[in-house]
Structure 1
């Protein structure tokens, strides 16, 4: 991030003995009573500025290859990348890339990554460092959220952007950058919500960052994140370590605490597996056989988080689930749904009486959760005719619309009085046009 402890003017490419961890110390020579920069520092600074022109000046495009990132072609100079990164050195030796205009080789970013994602803006920051040795500030539109009171020091977009930079630094073999971004991610671990530590733990595992892995595992083990969420988001090896820590902690705190009923847990997991298979009829059968209710299994929470929207519709259609039920973490089904940012599920829950004003144990409403997960780039993205609608904007606008309708919701949500078919038709029209203001006018 821009407020990192690493100076933005740090230089990494040099043979000087003063270089450490990707930065060059400010080396000064005495000249009379004043100190002046050494010739080496001046030369490196000038070299950095000159190389930067290759990236920022469209009039001097001498690039000889393209890397396609999120559908955007980024011109690169293979000689520079190969000299700075052994990954690219090996890549350019082995693979010529697909030929484009004037036989320029093209490389697709997704083909270069064995795991993880690196977006366009993150790649530009990485590329700038490769060329100049300077770490640019993170672009606000992709490293902050649209929550109006967020400090952006540990929200999900801020974390995700550094995670992308870590993937690029590790996969493309830039150890100095790996060191920088590991420190930033370590700083996030203590500040972030427990759920937001999960992507940090995943990148730490893939990049084999032992210190970061240890701190993340400890933080997650102390949290109330349920085992199902862990299994959906983490490698088995990491999950086992978290479970061991939790068992040891539980025994230390209360050795007489009753153990979880394995049969009860097994029956709940069968219901979840049936939902994964889109088999609501099997769910009904399992409910009868096991004498477990949908609410005991948090089946609606599970469906809203992981299943196809039609499954959510069918589960609600059974009429056996409380749409405002809180799970063990204090989250309602709507809180879970907004984390997924699927407009059709959010609208469906609202039509069935979900209360948008319900708060989590830490005081977050559904719309504040959604805003904290959304980048300005995605929120303000314009949708062209025939393109997929801006789901990030739709989710926030629908929830804010509901809050304006009913800021002090009682037992029944006002939007539950709207005909479900009518609201679903509005959503369909909205997604087809990609224009929230026409369907949900601002009051």
Structure 2
């Protein structure tokens, strides 16, 4: 049996396009990390956070707050100091000449010393300052956790971005090959006189369009990889999606609003409000007296006789008039407290808006992804059928090019929606203050 040239071309094209269609077939779960890949990424994420300047800066702020608390607490402990003085006489005069003989040498060069111990017995300012610094320290700890949460979210989303754009880029590469093959067949038809030159121009335009899309996606991929490499060092960019356990998510809007209170920014704001309340009480305490116990020992003329005095006393201090300073301090503290309260309300409103918008993105996400997947499969089947029928009078190669474009656009939409859904899942974990615990648990589970 012999075949003519046309029949051979038809068979080869059918096989080639059929093979291309087979390699393009998408199973969305194939683009998600397996257990081992996810473990490697989470390990890299955690180690990168611990070395990141943002995290280290927040740790330094916590250390600074600890030092401030130690300073405040030290005021409640005994304060011991030594005072010494030395003096040389410039001129002496004695009415009694005999005194000049006995006293002159002593007073010409003299050094005295005092040892003083003071202990606060009653000072409400110290008490309120300690309490305020404790709240500030806790606020800075929550600030540290918030910074870790932000870094974790940025790193996880950077992983999603690099994976999505890499997958789309690879799919477009396959699509460009298909376009090139179809353009080649159209060129053969044009050269043989079986097709008009206009078809060739349209086919080349479609190919150029696919190549332009490839350049656009590659630019996004390069940008995503650059961000990834800045966030996660010594780690290759993700090629697959980071999988999020849907059981850890909340689908009820009322529960989401309640869970917002666990956001580290809100908890930080709560502590700063408490610190402002203590600052107000501290300002009011300025009107109250201070009582100190003082023990003092004075030694006169350290080089002479061992003459000394020991004193014990209680000091009572109260400000009578300060020019309105203390009232101004109270007003200042009241305004600072009001500002802290309003900042929390603003933050709470912003988080509610973000969480509700994010929840709307997550609602019916599985159904939405299924719809895009169904659309992709429909375009895939249409393309495959056209590939088998392209030699019939009802199908042209330009129709094949259109089917190829529809196919790759549906694949791109499917991948982009998968990325957005995964990113929304990560954002909910972040907004509800659960993202750190989630990755720590995932890391622990993967180790067993």
Category of TM-score, reference length = shorter chain: under 0.3
The structure in which a higher percent of residues are helix is 2
Structure with the bigger RCO (C-alpha within 8 Å, sep 6+) is: 2
Structure of greater Rg: 2
